[in-house]
Amino acid sequence: MNEPKLLLIEDDRRSAQSLERVLKGKGYAVTLADRGDEGLELARTKDFDVVITDLRMPGLSGLDLVRELHAAKPRLPIILMTAFGTTETAIEATKSGAYDYLLKPFEMPELIEVVGRAVAGARLMTEPVELGEEGLEGQAIVGRSRAMQTVYKEIGRVATTSATVLIRGETGTGKELVARAVYQHSERAAKPFIAVNCAAIPESLLESELFGHERGAFTGADQRRVGRFEQAHQGTLFLDEIGDMSAFTQAKLLRVLQDKVIQRVGGKEEIPVDVRILAATHRDLEKAISERLFREDLYYRLSAVVVRLPALRERAEDIPDLVGYFLRRFSREFKITPTSPEADALAWLVEQPWPGNVRQLENVIRQALLLSRGFAVTRQHMETVAAKSSEAAASIGGPAGGGATLEESIDLWLKSAKEGAQIDVHARAFEAMERVLFGRAIDLAQGNQAKAARWLNVSRQTMREKLRSFGLKEEGQGP
Ligand SMILES: Nc1ncnc2c1ncn2[C@@H]1O[C@H](COP(=O)(O)OP(=O)(O)OP(=O)(O)O)[C@@H](O)[C@H]1O
Ligand SMILES: [Mg+2]
C-alpha cells in the first residue's frame, strides 16, 4: 500500500512545519499550502487521501473551503483545525461535510488518531471491492461456489435501490466487504460511506455518536456535536454489529427509519436526513428477539433485504481459490515470489472447520507464507501456524495441538478483549476447553469413540459431532 497523501493548508509557517514533521514521521506524504484558495485548487486537481485545513486563512476561509471541496469531492475527508471561540464555525463545517475538527491547541497523538481514522474511513469508500474475481488493486470477494453466486446476485439486485440491507453471517465471513461492495455499486457511490461499529462504542456514547447532541445535553457535552446520521446525509451509513445495540438506541433508530428525521440528544429540532442504511451482525437475531434483546419491529424494518453469508465450511470448495488469492496478495505485500501450496497442504486446509471463517484462513496463510520464507508452503507450515496463532488456537489443533496452553490462550484472548478486539472470549474458552477434553479422551481411548463417549457421559452422536467440528482425528473410528 502506498503512503497516504495528505494536504496541509495552514498559513502559519511554523505551525505548518512542525505538523509536517510529525506527519511525515508517521509515514504520510505531505503537501503544504499556505492559502485557502491555493489549497482548494490543489485538492481539486490532485489526489489526496485526507486534507487538514486551518479555519482562518488568507484567500478562502476554512468553512468555505469545506463547502466547496465537499461538493466537488464528497468522499475526501477534510479535518479542520480551529481555535477556541470559533468552534461554532467548526460545527457548521461538520454539517457541511467536514470529517472532524481539532480544537487548538491539540496534542499530536490526537491529530495522528483523527488523521488515521479519516484515512482508514476513506479507504473503505475508495478501495474497490471486486465481486467473484480479483482486480489489480483493492480487494476482492473471492469464491465461485453456488452460495457465493447467490450473494453476488443479491448484491447486484439491491445495490441500485436505496433499500435497507441486513447482512448476516458468522464472524469473518466478509460482512464488511459486502457492505462496501453494496455501497460501491450503488447510486450513492460518490457520496460518503460512514461506518459505525455499534459494539465498539460504549452504550452511553452510541446515541450521541449516531444522532449528535446539543451543548449541555449531558455532563461533558460542552459543545454541540453533529452525529453520524447528519454526516452521512445523502450517503450511506453502515451500522456494524447492530445486534449489540441496546434496546434504548434501537428504539431511537427505529424512529429514524420510520420518520427520516433525527433529533440530537438534548435537542428539540427535527432534522431531516436522507441516509441509506446497511446493517450487519453475526448474532442470531431470531434468538435475540425471543429473549427480548432485539426489537422485532426494528428487525422487520431492517430486513427488507437480507444478504446471508455462508460460513466457510459450507463452501469449502472455495478454499483453494481463497488460498491462491491470499498467497498472491501477501507475496506482493511482503515482496516475495509467489508460491503455490503443496497439494496435501491444500487438502488439509480444505478439511478444517474454520470457526473464524475467511479471516482466520487469511491469518493462517499470511503467517504460513512468512514461515515458508519464499519456499513452497507445506502442510507443516500451515499446521505450525495454526497451532500457534491465538486466533487459530480456538479452532485448529487448539491449545491441545501444541503451542499455547488453555490458560495461555485464555490470557491472550482476555488481553485482546481488553485492548478492544471483538472476540467472544466466553464462547472461545468453552470451545477450547471442550477441544482439550474431547481430544484427550479420544487419545486415551486410542480412537475408540464409544469408550471416550462413555467416559465423558455423552452420547456417541455428540462425540462424533464434537470430533468432527474440532477437526480431531477421523482415523481409528473405533467399534
Ligand atoms: N469472500 C472473501 N474473499 C476474500 N476475502 C474475504 C472474503 N470474505 C472475507 N474476507 C476477508 O476476511 C476478513 C474478514 O472479513 P470481514 O471483516 O468482512 O468479516 P465480518 O463478517 O465483518 O466479520 P466480523 O463479524 O468478525 O466483523 C477481511 O480481511 C476480508 O477482507
Ligand atoms: Mg465486521
Q: Domain locations in the chain?
A: 5-119, 129-310, 312-388, 408-479
Amino acid at position 87, single letter: T
Q: Using a 6 Å cutoff on CB, does residue 169 contact ligand 1?
A: yes
Burial of 6: CB neighbours in 10 Å, binned 0-12, 13-18, 19+: buried
Closest-CA residue to 414 (of 404, 429, 425): 425
> Residue 387: how many CB atoms within 10 A of its CB?
18
Alpha carbon distance 281, 278 (integer Å): 11
Candidates 149, 358, 365, 425: which one to mutate for ligand 1, based on the most atoms within 8 Å of Cβ? 358
Burial of 81: CB neighbours in 10 Å, binned 0-12, 13-18, 19+: buried
Residue 279 grid coordinates = 446493517
Q: Which atom of ligand 1 is nearest to the CA of 176?
A: 18
> Residue 253: how many CB atoms within 10 A of its CB?
26
- Is the CB of residue 315 less than 8 Å from the CB of residue 147? yes
Could you give phi then psi for residue 283, rounded to 5 degrees?
A: -80, 155
Amino acid at position 106, single letter: F
Residue 386 grid coordinates = 495454526
Q: Using a 6 Å cutoff on CB, does residue 170 contact ligand 1?
A: no
Closest-CA residue to 473 (of 409, 364, 400, 417): 400
Q: Which atom of ligand 1 is nearest to the CA of 422?
A: 26
Q: Which atom of ligand 1 is nearest to the CA of 361?
A: 12
Closest-CA residue to 102 (of 110, 94, 342, 418): 110
Q: Using a 6 Å cutoff on CB, does residue 172 contact ligand 1?
A: yes
Q: Which helix (H) or strand (E) holds 368?
A: helix 357-372
Alpha carbon distance 359, 311 (integer Å): 11
Query: How far, in Å, from the CA of 292 to the mean position of ligand 1?
Result: 29
pTM for the whole thing?
A: 0.76
* pLDDT on residue 419: 65
Alpha carbon distance 298, 281 (integer Å): 14
Query: How far, in Å, from the CA of 101 to the mean position of ligand 1?
Result: 31
Query: How far, in Å, from the CA of 281 to the mean position of ligand 2?
Result: 8
Alpha carbon distance 10, 124 (integer Å): 27
- Give bridge partners of residue 79 from the DSSP assignment: 52, 100
Fold of the CATH domain 312-388? Helicase, Ruva Protein; domain 3 (1.10.8)
Going by the DSSP 8-state scheme, the letter that residue 265 receives in this structure is B
* pLDDT on residue 195: 93
Alpha carbon distance 184, 188 (integer Å): 8
- Is the CB of residue 77 less than 8 Å from the CB of residue 123? no
Q: What is the CATH number of domain 5-119?
A: 3.40.50.2300
- Cα dist from 246 to 165, 225, 249, 306, 446, whole Å: 20, 21, 5, 21, 49
Q: Where are the alpha helices (DSSP H) in 236-318?
A: 247-259, 285-290, 296-302
Query: How far, in Å, from the CA of 280 to the mean position of ligand 2?
Result: 7
Closest-CA residue to 137 (of 331, 329, 339): 329
* pLDDT on residue 433: 84
Closest-CA residue to 249 (of 226, 265, 235, 233): 265
All residues at 6 or more sequence positions from 460 whose CB lies less than 8 Å from its CB, including other chains? 449, 450, 453
Nearest CA to ligand 1 atom 12: 359
- Give bridge partners of residue 132 from the DSSP assignment: 142
Q: Using a 6 Å cutoff on CB, does residue 141 contact ligand 1?
A: yes
Q: Using a 6 Å cutoff on CB, does residue 359 contact ligand 1?
A: yes
Q: Using a 6 Å cutoff on CB, does residue 142 contact ligand 1?
A: yes
CB contact burial 66-77 (16+ within 10 A = b; e otherwise)? bbbbbeebebbb
> Class of 129-310 per CATH?
alpha beta
Query: How far, in Å, from the CA of 423 to the mean position of ligand 2?
Result: 11
Please tell me whether residue 164 adopts helix, strand or coil conformation: coil
Same fold yes or no, 312-388 and 408-479? no
Going by the DSSP 8-state scheme, the letter that residue 374 receives in this structure is T
Alpha carbon distance 275, 269 (integer Å): 18
* pLDDT on residue 477: 38
* pLDDT on residue 137: 64
Query: How far, in Å, from the CA of 25 to the mean position of ligand 1?
Result: 31
Query: How far, in Å, from the CA of 237 to the mean position of ligand 2?
Result: 14
Q: Which residue has the cell 463452501?
A: 315
pLDDT by 10s per residue, the chain, length 479: 579 999 999 999 999 999 999 999 999 999 999 999 999 999 999 999 999 999 988 999 889 999 999 999 999 999 999 886 777 888 888 888 899 888 888 889 989 999 999 998 888 888 888 887 666 566 889 999 999 999 999 998 888 888 999 999 999 999 999 999 999 989 999 999 999 999 888 877 899 999 999 988 888 778 888 899 999 999 999 999 999 999 889 999 999 999 999 999 999 999 999 999 999 999 999 999 999 999 999 999 999 899 999 999 999 999 999 999 999 888 888 888 877 888 888 999 999 889 889 999 998 898 888 888 777 788 888 888 877 654 444 443 333 333 456 776 777 778 767 766 666 778 778 777 888 888 888 888 888 889 999 999 888 888 888 887 776 654 433 33
Domain 408-479 has CATH 1.10.10.60: yes
Q: Which atom of ligand 1 is nearest to the CA of 167?
A: 21
- Cα dist from 417 to 115, 423, 425, whole Å: 25, 6, 8
Total residues belonging to the chain:
479
Q: Between vectors from CA 336 to CA 334 and to CA 341, what angle results, nearest 5°? A: 105
- Cα dist from 175 to 82, 140, 165, 418, whole Å: 37, 13, 11, 24
Q: Using a 6 Å cutoff on CB, does residue 283 contact ligand 1?
A: no
Closest-CA residue to 244 (of 193, 276, 290, 279): 279
Nearest CA to ligand 1 atom 30: 174
